[in-house]
Amino acid sequence: MKIYDRAGFPNPARIRIVLAAKGLDASIEFVPVDLIGAEHKQPAYLSKNPSGVVPLLELDDGTLISESTAITEYLDNLDGNPVLTGRTPKEKAVIHMMQRRAEAYVTDPVGLYFHHATPGLGDALKAFKSPEWEGRVMMGEREGEKVRNGLKYFDELLSKQPYLAGEDFSMADITLFAGLMHADVSGITVPPEYSSLRQWRERVSGLPSVKNRTGQNLLPEDLKRLGF
């Protein structure tokens, strides 16, 4: 199996956590895609994933699977014990509901905020985003507000239960964790008073599948190109 992705980016981190949690690291070949150079918007990559985003999974028979949720479902079910996406109908339903909330309330709007209200990934990619780029800063700000509301929602939820879908770590937690990674680089911080969300983040950071395994560091060449 191959994963097209880029170390240090949030949606790729979702799949890197899943691979670690499922003990699948050794079965995967990583193919780096140059996001800052807009490689993912060129015909060669678009022919594999018309959405023009990473991660993308390519199976040995050539099947291409994009969307982190779909990739997670596939990897989690390979061993017949889908602990991250749900073993029973009820677990599946609750996990998918919470994962979609994590995506809709934090991970998706933080991506829009990053690309439209901050310099994003720089000039090469700008051309592929929106012709009226500058005018969309306002839209980006609205997305930032959505993220802040989402953080409040999850702080309240996590004051009542240890993980997003209840007692156990799941795909929903991975999605929110990656959203917070993206929030960090976008300049949106979790307010200090959101102690439940902060404690949850600490707890998730310490899990073996997450600790040092997310590729959370951008590659040195990417940091340089982004001006850090």
Q: Which amino acid is at 7?
A: A
Q: E strands within the chain? A: 2-5, 29-32, 56-58, 64-66
Q: Rule CB under 6 A: say whether 54 interacts with ligand GSH.
A: yes
Q: Rule CB under 6 A: say whether 35 interacts with ligand GSH.
A: yes
Report the candidate in 54, 52, 59 with the shortest Cα–Cα distance to residue 24: 59
Q: Rule CB under 6 A: say whether 18 interacts with ligand GSH.
A: no
Q: Which stretch binds ligand GSH (CB under 6 A): 48-56, 148-156, 198-206, 209-217?
A: 48-56
Q: How far is the CB of 24 from ligand GSH (least distance, A)?
A: 17
Contact indicator for 149, 155 with CB cutoff of 8 Å: no
Q: How far apart are CA 160 and CA 74, in angstroms?
A: 30
Q: Rule CB under 6 A: say whether 53 interacts with ligand GSH.
A: yes
Q: Which stretch binds ligand GSH (CB under 6 A): 51-59, 87-95, 136-144, 213-221?
A: 51-59
Window 106-135: residues binding ligand GSH (CB under 6 A) = 111, 125
Q: How far is the CB of 50 from ligand GSH (least distance, A)?
A: 12
Q: Which of 8, 10, 150, 179 binds ligand GSH (CB under 6 A)?
A: 10
Q: How far apart are CA 206 and CA 204, in angstroms?
A: 5
Number of residues that bind ligand GSH (CB under 6 A): 12
End-to-end CA distance of the chain: 33
Q: How far is the CB of 144 from ligand GSH (least distance, A)?
A: 16
Q: Which amino acid is at 16?
A: R
Q: Is the dihedral of CA 85, 206, 110, 57 positive or negative?
A: negative
Q: Rule CB under 6 A: say whether 171 interacts with ligand GSH.
A: no
Q: How far is the CB of 98 from ligand GSH (least distance, A)?
A: 15
Q: What are phi and psi of 56, to 5 degrees?
A: -140, 130
Q: Tell me 192's DSSP state.
A: T
Q: Where along the sequence are the contacts to ligand GSH (CB under 6 A)?
A: 9-11, 35, 40, 53-55, 67-68, 111, 125
